[in-house]
Amino acid sequence: MQELPDCLYEGKQPALITPSSPTPSHILYLSNLDDHHFLRFSIKYLYLFQKSLCSLTLKDSLSRVLVDYYPFAGRIKVSDDKTKLEVDCNGKGAVFAEAFMDITCQEFLEISRKPNKSWRKLLFKVQAPGFLDIPPLVIQVTHLRCGGMIICTAINHCLCDGIGTSQFLHAWAHANTTNVPLPIQPFHSRRMLKPRDPPHVTHSHPGFTRTTVDKNSTTFDVCKYLQSQPIVPTTLTFTPSLILRLKKTCAPSLECTTFEVLAAHTWCSWARSLDLPLTMQVKLLFSVNVRKKLTPELPHGYYGNGFVLACAESKVQDLVSGNIYHAVKLIQDAKVRITDEYVRSTIDLLEDKTVKTDVSSSLVISQWGRLGLEELDFGGGKPMYMGSLTSDIYCLFLPEAGNCDAIRVQVSLPEDVLRRLECYMVQFLDEKGKIEAKTFA
* pLDDT per position as a tens digit, 372-390: 999 999 999 999 999 999 8
Question: DSSP label at 36?
Answer: S
CA distance 65 to 32: 27
pLDDT at residue number 401 = 86
pLDDT at residue number 363 = 97
Please state, in angstroms and as integers, the Cα–Cα distance from residue 411 to each residue in 227, 408, 419, following that order. Answer: 13, 10, 12
pLDDT at residue number 63 = 98
pLDDT at residue number 172 = 98
CA distance 286 to 165: 18
Q: Let me know: does 316 contact 279? Beta carbons within 8 Å.
A: yes
pLDDT at residue number 228 = 92
Strand pairing of 208-210 and 355-357?
antiparallel
Contacts of 302 (CB under 8 A, 6+ apart): 187, 291
Please state, in angstroms and as integers, the Cα–Cα distance from residue 136 to each residue in 21, 154, 167, 427, following that order. Answer: 19, 8, 16, 42
Give 265's Cβ-side CA count (13 Å radius): 28
pLDDT at residue number 439 = 45
- Residues taking part in catalysis: 157, 377
- 359 burial level (CB within 10 Å; 0-12, 13-18, 19+): buried
Give 332's Cβ-side CA count (13 Å radius): 12
Q: Let me know: does 66 contact 20? Beta carbons within 8 Å.
A: yes
Q: Let me know: does 61 contact 176? Beta carbons within 8 Å.
A: yes
Q: Let me know: does 359 contact 285? Beta carbons within 8 Å.
A: yes
pLDDT at residue number 330 = 98
Long-range contacts of 322-326 (CB under 8 A, 24+ apart): 323/249, 323/250, 323/251, 324/246, 324/249, 324/250, 324/261, 324/264, 324/265, 324/268, 325/250, 325/251, 325/252, 325/254
What is the phi/psi pair of residue 253, to 5°? -60, 145
pLDDT at residue number 215 = 52
What element of type H or E holds 309? strand 307-315
Residue type, 93: G
User: In which residue ranges of the chain is pLDDT below 50?
Assistant: 439-441
Q: Let me know: does 134 contact 158? Beta carbons within 8 Å.
A: no
pLDDT at residue number 218 = 60
Q: Let me know: does 343 contact 310? Beta carbons within 8 Å.
A: no
pLDDT at residue number 253 = 86
